[in-house]
Chain A
């Protein structure tokens, strides 16, 4: 049984994180993958002189889209339809699943899929199965996740929590290849052979979209393996599902977005394949093309002026790689298809703040996510905004007796006076003694304070405060200065 499948899928972040923090293999895999991508991203964003102006333009383009979303969606619909595409609108996941399941019906009972986090949001594969259609994931990482009955843990590299040995075991079992090697080359080749015939014979494909181009009615898909091109070129029917925020104004805007996305996502100057197509063409590609535009509460996010920028996201995953919390736990602790900093702000908003309320707290507010975001989403600011909303939504009496609220009031009282602060520090240094472990860390605090150490270790108060150190330093050097 996989660790991840045993997890409690309704647990809040600190609870869900505990078993993951004890999974050394998982943590090593996540650490390695995020280190590699971060390093590559750093090289690729510093080798060009105009990275910051590109981010500025990316942010402006995406914010402009949101401010004119109705205009651009209508334009996209008109142009796509004129080019032979069919545009559908879905208010929620149930409606989207109904539309797609009906369109995907075919005699083989199968549909091939390009990696799409939006279809994870829909839980589309389950809906298709209920409609008698078996969805086949064709992205290597998604295939690993699907064959392992696992869940994706990263936007760009959904199986980064698995190492080569774990992938080999899975392929040996699921593809019946007892003599398969464990080199990434062997595993990639196995996936190629496994999927080849499916690409050539499956009549229906389902994709997400990186960008919908309002000006032309075109769609752009960014990928590396060629599985995307297979899906959007070979089948007779192609169904593309996209959140309404995926639209961009003009073809030309790709000159910014196709620079910032690959450099941020995988640390490449350009990813191997970008496909752009508009509707259908005679003798080239599918004969039937559908686009499903999904709301699923994106309009609620749009209505909140302080949360709106969340929808600027172009799904590069850079914030996940940079986040000190994600790097410890991996994606599964978020219990959400959108993990990491972007997930911490997107998930609760897409659930009208009824789910994922612990996620805005799964952050140290260090700002690393904002710094790497290619479209400059101020994630820490949105996190604080959402924390405010969560606190405000609590009933007043509960708020008064909330341990955090009590602690904050006590802190406020202490910080108001230097004497009180000094006393509190002295008291703290004595009181903490029994809790400091041999490792030098506090691993468990008693009583109400225990909430803090449930999923994190704590540095003890240092033997000397800054003020004490400063006063002592001045006393010893005073006369010479």
Chain B
């Protein structure tokens, strides 16, 4: 271990001599606070315009968007799975059970009780919520654990239906990061459209390793 300790001490020593000072946290903190942030922090749109922007940006990524009233989420979810012809749907353990109430025999919800990756791979799709949306970029913010499940759930299945509360859509990225502060010790995934690549001749192809199809249901 002495070698490892040496490397650490040596690198930190080189940094301190390069900077010609011995750093102390309080001064770094003050300097950080003094960084000018003249970019747009808060949004200016009214809720209706903000929602229009969010939907427009989602469409831009090829996301299929549907709306429903807050009391009709379960019916809208069932309808979406039928429209997509998805039958075996993975759900996180702590998902809001009322969301599942309108599915009949044709849709089978499979709760994630430590399923293997192979089992996840054999599902038709996954249903989760999310903690926020970003209108300017068409982004869904997922904090993993609890109602949104572990990270593998929204990754391995080929289809993802994400339910978002209309009130949780923010306009700007800085507003979203302010809200995400509350979740920063959990894993966070920001999702903007289905997985994609432009590696071959800069032609954008949707659907690589993550879900190839992403649907968003906006409730409220």
Residues of chain A touching chain B, judged by Cβ–Cβ distance below 8 Å, are 29, 32-33, 36-37, 48-50, 53-54, 56-57, 60-61, 64, 67-75, 83, 88-91, 95, 138-141, 144, 157, 159-160, 162-164, 167, 184-185, 187-188, 191-192, 195-196, 199-200, 216, 218, 224-227, 229-230, 233-234, 244, 249-252, 254-256, 258-259, 266, 268-278, 281, 283-285, 293, 295, 299-300, 302-303
Let me know if B201 and A32 touch, CB within 8 A.
Answer: yes
In the complex, which of the residues A157, A216, A277 contacts B198, with contact meaning CB atoms closer than 8 Å?
A157
Let me know if A273 and B208 touch, CB within 8 A.
Answer: no
Separation of A233 and B202 alpha carbons in the complex (Å): 27
Let me know if B37 and A57 touch, CB within 8 A.
Answer: yes
Let me know if A140 and B197 touch, CB within 8 A.
Answer: yes
For A199, the chain B residues whose CB sits under 8 A away are: 209
For B144, the chain A residues whose CB sits under 8 A away are: 281, 284
Q: Which residue of A lies closest to B17 (CB)?
A: A303
Separation of A250 and B209 alpha carbons in the complex (Å): 30
B105 CB–A CB distance under 8 Å: no
Let me know if B193 and A68 touch, CB within 8 A.
Answer: no
- Whether A70 touches B16, Cβ cut-off 8 Å, given contacts A88-B4, A224-B195, A230-B209, is yes
In the complex, which of the residues A140, A187, A230, A256 contacts B39, with contact meaning CB atoms closer than 8 Å?
A256
Which of B6-14, B64-72, B80-88 lies at the interface? B6-14
B147 CB–A CB distance under 8 Å: no
Separation of A200 and B117 alpha carbons in the complex (Å): 6
Cβ < 8 Å to A, chain B residues 117-151 = 117-118, 121, 134, 136-139, 144-145, 150-151
Cβ < 8 Å to A, chain B residues 149-197 = 150-152, 155-156, 173-174, 176-178, 180-181, 184-197
For A60, the chain B residues whose CB sits under 8 A away are: 35-36
Let me know if B208 and A72 touch, CB within 8 A.
Answer: no
- Whether A140 touches B208, Cβ cut-off 8 Å, given contacts A273-B191, A293-B11, is yes
B205 CB–A CB distance under 8 Å: yes
- Whether A89 touches B7, Cβ cut-off 8 Å, given contacts A64-B32, A216-B185, A252-B181, is yes
What would 16 A/B residue contacts be, using CB atoms closer than 8 Å?
A64-B31, A64-B35, A67-B19, A68-B23, A95-B7, A164-B200, A227-B209, A251-B181, A251-B184, A258-B173, A259-B39, A270-B173, A273-B192, A274-B189, A284-B145, A302-B15
Let me know if A139 and B199 touch, CB within 8 A.
Answer: yes
Chain A binding site: helix, strand, loop or mixed by DSSP?
Answer: helix
B25 CB–A CB distance under 8 Å: yes
Let me know if B4 and A33 touch, CB within 8 A.
Answer: no
Let me know if B38 and A53 touch, CB within 8 A.
Answer: yes
Separation of A29 and B200 alpha carbons in the complex (Å): 10
In the complex, which of the residues A74, A184, A195 contacts B203, with contact meaning CB atoms closer than 8 Å?
A184
Separation of A277 and B196 alpha carbons in the complex (Å): 22
Let me know if A302 and B18 touch, CB within 8 A.
Answer: yes
Let me know if B189 and A188 touch, CB within 8 A.
Answer: no
Let me know if A295 and B14 touch, CB within 8 A.
Answer: yes
In the complex, which of the residues B4, B38, B118 contacts A200, with contact meaning CB atoms closer than 8 Å?
B118
A226, A259, A285: residue with the most chain B Cβ atoms closer than 10 Å:
A226
Let me know if B205 and A184 touch, CB within 8 A.
Answer: yes
Let me know if B200 and A70 touch, CB within 8 A.
Answer: no
- Whether A226 touches B173, Cβ cut-off 8 Å, given contacts A32-B202, A57-B39, is no
Let me know if A229 and B39 touch, CB within 8 A.
Answer: no
Let me know if A225 and B197 touch, CB within 8 A.
Answer: yes
Separation of A226 and B206 alpha carbons in the complex (Å): 11
Cβ < 8 Å to A, chain B residues 14-60 = 14-19, 23-25, 27-28, 31-32, 35-40, 57, 60
B61, B176, B198: residue with the most chain A Cβ atoms closer than 10 Å:
B198
For A259, the chain B residues whose CB sits under 8 A away are: 39, 173
Let me know if B192 and A269 touch, CB within 8 A.
Answer: yes
- Whether A284 touches B150, Cβ cut-off 8 Å, given contacts A37-B202, A140-B197, A252-B178, is yes
For A144, the chain B residues whose CB sits under 8 A away are: 199-200
For A37, the chain B residues whose CB sits under 8 A away are: 202
Let me know if A295 and B190 touch, CB within 8 A.
Answer: no
- Whether A70 touches B15, Cβ cut-off 8 Å, given contacts A225-B210, A272-B191, A273-B191, is yes
Q: Which residue of A lies closest to B176 (CB)?
A: A255
Let me know if B16 and A254 touch, CB within 8 A.
Answer: no
- Whether A226 touches B210, Cβ cut-off 8 Å, given contacts A50-B39, A184-B200, A274-B190, is yes
B42 nearest CB across to chain A (Å): 12
B2 CB–A CB distance under 8 Å: no
Separation of A271 and B177 alpha carbons in the complex (Å): 16
- Whether A275 touches B187, Cβ cut-off 8 Å, given contacts A224-B195, A269-B138, A293-B11, is yes
Let me know if A36 and B202 touch, CB within 8 A.
Answer: yes
Let me know if A303 and B195 touch, CB within 8 A.
Answer: no
4 shortest interchain CB distances as A-B pairs = A226-B210, A303-B18, A226-B209, A299-B14
B8, B23, B208: residue with the most chain A Cβ atoms closer than 10 Å:
B208
A57 nearest CB across to chain B (Å): 5
**Knowing that A281-B187, A302-B19 are A-B contacts, what are 6 other residue pairs whose CB atoms are under 8 Å apart, sorted by A's residue number?**
A70-B12, A71-B28, A163-B201, A227-B209, A272-B61, A284-B145
A195 nearest CB across to chain B (Å): 7
Separation of A48 and B8 alpha carbons in the complex (Å): 42
For A195, the chain B residues whose CB sits under 8 A away are: 209
Q: Which residue of A lies closest to B155 (CB)?
A: A229
